[in-house]
Structure 1
Amino acid sequence: MERLRKGLLDFLGFALVSILLVLSGCGGGSKSKTLYIFNWTYYTPDSVIQKFEKEYGVKVVYDTFASNEEMFAKLKAGGSNYDITFPSGDYVSIMIKEGMLEKIDKSKLKNYGNIDPAVLALCDFDPGNQYSIPYYMGAAGVAVNKTKVQNYDKSWSIFARKDLANRMIMLDDMREVMGDALKYLGYSVNTVDQKQIDEARDLINNVWKPNLLKFDAEAFAKSFAAGEVWVAQGYAESIFAEVDKANWKDVDFFIPKEGGPSYLDSMVILKGSKNKDLALKFIDFIHRPEIYAEFCDYFGFPSTANVPARALKKGESWYRPEDLLNCELKKDVGADLEKYNAAWQAIRVGK
């Protein structure tokens, strides 16, 4: 009986050690962890991802979306395995209200103090940054192929030019395109006035849309780089990522003089994230000055959100912070978003 009891104790001890070893290999150690990121296309350099993976001994799975609407719809439909996503301010507000986000423990963010206080002051969609940390503030603009189009006004009115019909493209993004039209008409990108929204709808539908090849938020940059279109509304980082570097001199990218919607994209941790601590490490990693400068240089961004990174930037920027002065941050318009949805539906179905 004593031998039997000793043998049982030895077996239990071996089993316990085995279980601990398995646990340390499957979740207890950081080397086995995977961080799932859901981000905009062309928005974090591979080199930054690789440095994070190497430093923390982890793997990053990086999926992309082309618009806030696409991101939100996928997450609401059950895309719940992601740890971090990058919504614009208006969608941060919506996601907070929907209970989709985890609170952020800023005491674990050593680099939070690097963020420009002027940018933090704009985060009225998340007072005190309880759920979101600014990533980047910028704006979509217009890219022109100067070898095909020589004379043009740096205005949204370029999309009214019938001589460029079927050679122009705009984003398939409701708040961006509607915001462009509203600013061109002298209104706020956040108006909830039905008459103003209708006026913007009619401008797009009757004046701009007939000259467009299509609305496209995914392949607009590829279409521009391939010469399929000569004028493209979109993001500078996407355009220059697709255009061969030897041809960059032939591209003029500008923020129209009327301004337009600007964005303040933030990093948020999704509710139910299985890797919250690792997600916080990634957020903090992004705001290291040398990492943020690398991010901005890679995409030709001005360092709008991180102050110390400005002194470390080495490359040129496709636009200047002052080019954003006439732009306006998109905000959550609440139930009035349905007015935009109806206008956009009329534009997209051609009514």
Structure 2
Amino acid sequence: MSSETRTQSAVVYQETGDASVLHLVERDVHEPGPGEVRVRVVRSGVNPTDWKSRTGGGPGQRLPFGEVVPNQDGSGVVDAIGEGVDGFAVGDRVWTFLSAQERPTGTAQQFTILPVNRIAPLPDSASFDVGASLGVPAVTAHRALTVSEDGPRRLAPGALDGRIVLVSGGAGAVGHAAIQLARWADATVITTVSGPEKAELARAAGAHHVVNYREDDAVEQIRSIAPDGVDMVVEVAVAANLELDQSVLKPRGVVASYADGGGDTVEVAIRPSMVRNTRLQFILIYTMGAEALAAAAEDVTAAVAAGALEVGEENGLPLHHFPLEQAADAHRAVEADTVGKVLIDLE
């Protein structure tokens, strides 16, 4: 059957707005071009960045493309290969990242075409659920753990040996990945959470120490574990937490901030930061650069192969599955801060 007569189901939107702008449609399946692969999507992962892109700056805005298929992350099987592609073959299991960056077609469809540098091998030991849960969370976490002035630029067993990592919001998707990657690299991991249920998830992810910041004096608790301070902080809400972070950070430490946590600005105490030579590093996966992206994809794949990045409630990240026709509900679940990972099942 030719590509012109082959169709697929896809979720699209043609203007910004709430989840009601998402529609299930039938679209042609196209052939990959030079340097591209076509992936048969098994799972599509939904992240906050996906609904934020969908809403834009307000409803009804024009899009950079006439029609957009959402969702940056996914997992599946290579279905076709374009000219000049090396390292992958039809039938290979893969996970995807930045699938919709500067492109109109993400993973909320049965087949997606991607540049070869937007996919990575998915080890046979890993489920498609794991593969679709990597992308934005794991790559962001890898970046946060590799920006310290005195720390490694790559992660592997032993890379963070002797270092103490504080993960803010250990029950979130990025926090979960940061805990697991830091443990894999042999760091001591402390995490902060807002309640006992999230504390259990953080422990299941592998955190050595869990601090409930609503019940405990968080600074005192963290200092009791790390009297000399922590080497790095993976921060989800820098505006709310920077004072705490600076109170527990050791000299030459880093606060790696990957989300605003609802704040628009942050005040930095200049003198203490100067005295301790600390660093405030902001992180966004879209602009972290090709070298850092490639390093993250390789290291994350290695961690997956080692069984270090697992999902499911028993591993600290509950999964919530939706069929493709309920993609709008999947987006609403993420927008409502559902604890865990939201996945869209295409098979």
Q: Same fold (TM over 0.5)?
A: no
Band of TM-score, shorter chain: 0.3 to 0.5
Structure ranking higher in helix proportion: 1
Q: Which has the higher strand share?
A: 2
TM-score w.r.t. structure 2 length?
0.33
Larger of the two Rg values belongs to structure: 1
TM-score for both structures, normalised by structure 1: 0.33
Higher relative contact order (CA 8 A, sep 6+): 1
